[in-house]
């Protein structure tokens, strides 16, 4: 990995690679999409399982991460296509490549360790402007949300996206602080919430607050709902969809989507067959080697063979 891209930033270690490969890659000659290619960790691993005929399309909203991925993927030449796009734009990408159906699709949600080390406001441990956008060319920044949302909306964001227990108190404290001066940096946000967080586990409280704001900034939960539905429509018969989530809000959406696609209300089966009846968690060895994997939850499903695909 080139130092020019990483500097002293943390490299990202892909999560549950062995489990993802065994659930996702069933046809080595197929076309696969990594909807959240990031720094290319899973992308490289998937390509390593494919034949020379197999192809991989990688998407990510973050162009800095794709620069890292691009370096790693050079050896695969024309078998890999990277796009700096939201995964909801998958139909446009497939049309551009004249691809009609897919053997498998991977979503590895959230953000990478690499992004945590960028000066874009994702981490409470890095002094940086409060931006938090995956795509810094568009959308609303964290500072705009923190300074312009009313107290009720802020509390809702903290509660729903971060499971912040004392969300009302944290929201009130943010509103009080911004009266003096609009919040503009991560350090400023930490100061604004400091007296509301538990002294026992301050890092965990700060991580939840930052996670909640990031999810609101990027509209992440709506994107997941839409992205899963879009990707499923392109799966060939027997094609696989694998999703790794990192918190209960993400996993709930994935679980509901897969279960809903696997069974109609009358009990008859629908488009997908579940491959993971229970969520898969990383092994103890993986968590010991990569503590950031500890919250990961993997679910997978397969498009039914006998369903009519237009
Ligand atoms: C956990 S990281 C993926 C890491 C990657 N699997 C690897 O091994 O390097 C999640 C990635 O999803 C990207 N992302 C989040 N929402 C997205 C969206 N709607 N469309 C495309 N990429 C998205 C983030 O920018 C981030 O790079």
For the chain, give the percent of residues with pLDDT over 90. 86
Residue 53: give its domain's CATH number: 3.40.50.150
How many angstroms does the Cα of residue 160 sit away from the middle of ligand 1? 21
Residue 59 has a pLDDT of 98
What are the pLDDT digits (tens) for 1-46?
A: 333 333 345 688 999 999 999 999 999 999 999 999 999 999 999 9
What are the pLDDT digits (tens) for 194-205?
A: 999 988 889 999
Residue 220 has a pLDDT of 97
How many angstroms does the Cα of residue 270 sit away from the middle of ligand 1? 28
Q: Which atom of ligand 1 is nearest the CA belonging to 40?
A: 9
Do 146 and 17 share a structural domain? no
Do 109 and 21 share a structural domain? yes
In a domain, 308, yes or no: no
Do 184 and 62 share a structural domain? no
In a domain, 271, yes or no: yes
Token pair recorded at residue 121: 């406001």
Residue 5 has a pLDDT of 36
Range 101-130 average pLDDT = 95
Domain termination residue (choose one: 176, 191, 218): 218
In a domain, 140, yes or no: yes
Do 32 and 155 share a structural domain? no
In a domain, 136, yes or no: yes
In a domain, 255, yes or no: yes
Query: Which residues have C-beta atoms less than 6 Å from ligand 1?
Result: 12, 14, 36, 38-42, 59-62, 65, 86-87, 108, 110-112, 134, 223
Residue 269: band (very low, low, confident or very high) from pLDDT cuts 50, 70, 90: low
Q: How many domains does the chain have?
A: 2
Domain residue limits at 57: 3-114+221-303
Residue 12 has a pLDDT of 87
Domain termination residue (choose one: 160, 195, 218): 218
Angle at CA of residue 32, ends 278 and 239, nearest 5°: 50
What are the pLDDT digits (tens) for 175-199?
A: 999 999 999 999 999 999 999 998 8
Do 197 and 143 share a structural domain? yes
Do 282 and 136 share a structural domain? no
Q: Is the pLDDT of residue 305 over 90?
A: no
What are the pLDDT digits (tens) for 210-257?
A: 999 999 999 999 999 999 999 999 999 999 999 999 999 999 999 999
How many angstroms does the Cα of residue 158 sit away from the middle of ligand 1? 22
How many angstroms does the Cα of residue 109 sit away from the middle of ligand 1? 6
Q: Which atom of ligand 1 is nearest the CA belonging to 246?
A: 1
What are the pLDDT digits (tens) for 142-155?
A: 999 999 999 999 99
List b or e across 231-260, with b for residues whose CB sees 16 or more CB atoms inside 10 angstroms. bbebbbeebbbbbbbbbebbbebbbebbee
Provide the β-strand partners of residue 83. 59
How many angstroms does the Cα of residue 199 sit away from the middle of ligand 1? 32
Domain termination residue (choose one: 186, 218, 250): 218
In a domain, 310, yes or no: no
Do 268 and 152 share a structural domain? no
Measuring from atom 18 of ligand 1, which residue has the nearest CA? 86
Do 162 and 22 share a structural domain? no
In a domain, 287, yes or no: yes
Tell me the pLDDT of the chain averaged across its residues: 92
Q: Which atom of ligand 1 is nearest the CA belonging to 218?
A: 16
Do 95 and 12 share a structural domain? yes
Residue 306 has a pLDDT of 58
What are the pLDDT digits (tens) for 49-70?
A: 999 999 999 999 999 999 999 9
Do 225 and 99 share a structural domain? yes
Residue 264 has a pLDDT of 64
Residue 214 has a pLDDT of 98
Residue 179: give its domain's CATH number: 1.10.150.170
In a domain, 42, yes or no: yes
Do 233 and 94 share a structural domain? yes
Do 56 and 76 share a structural domain? yes
Residue 266 has a pLDDT of 64
């Amino acid at each position: 990995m080139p130092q020019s891209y990483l500097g002293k930033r943390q490299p990202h270690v892909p999560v549950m690679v062995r489990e993802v490969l065994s659930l996702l890659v069933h046809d080595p000659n197929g076309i696969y999409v990594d909807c959240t290619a990031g720094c290319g960790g899973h992308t490289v691993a998937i390509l390593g399982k494919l034949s020379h005929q197999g192809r991989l399309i990688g998407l990510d909203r973050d162009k800095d991460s794709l620069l890292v991925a691009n370096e790693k993927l050079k050896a695969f030449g024309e078998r890999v296509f990277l796009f700096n796009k939201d995964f909801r734009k998958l139909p446009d990408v497939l049309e551009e490549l004249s691809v009609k159906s897919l053997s498998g699709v991977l979503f590895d949600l959230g953000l990478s360790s690499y992004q945590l080390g960028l000066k874009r406001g994702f981490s409470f441990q890095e002094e940086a402007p409060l931006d938090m956008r995956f795509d810094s060319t568009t959308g609303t920044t964290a500072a705009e949300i923190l300074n312009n949302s009313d107290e009720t909306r802020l509390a809702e964001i903290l509660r729903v996206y971060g499971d912040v227990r004392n969300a009302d108190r944290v929201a009130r404290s943010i509103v009080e602080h911004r009266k003096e001066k609009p919040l503009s940096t991560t350090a400023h946000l930490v100061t604004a919430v400091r007296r509301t967080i538990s002294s026992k586990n301050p890092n965990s409280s700060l991580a939840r607050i930052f996670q909640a704001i990031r999810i609101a900034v990027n509209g992440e939960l709506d994107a997941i709902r839409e992205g899963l539905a879009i990707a499923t429509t392109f799966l060939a018969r027997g094609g696989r969809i694998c999703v790794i989530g990192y918190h209960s809000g993400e996993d709930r959406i994935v679980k509901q989507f897969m279960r809903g696609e696997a069974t109609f209300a009358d009990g008859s089966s629908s488009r997908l067959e579940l491959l993971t009846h229970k969520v898969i968690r990383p092994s103890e060895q993986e968590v010991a080697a990569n503590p950031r994997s500890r919250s990961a939850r993997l679910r997978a499903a397969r498009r039914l063979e006998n369903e009519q695909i237009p």
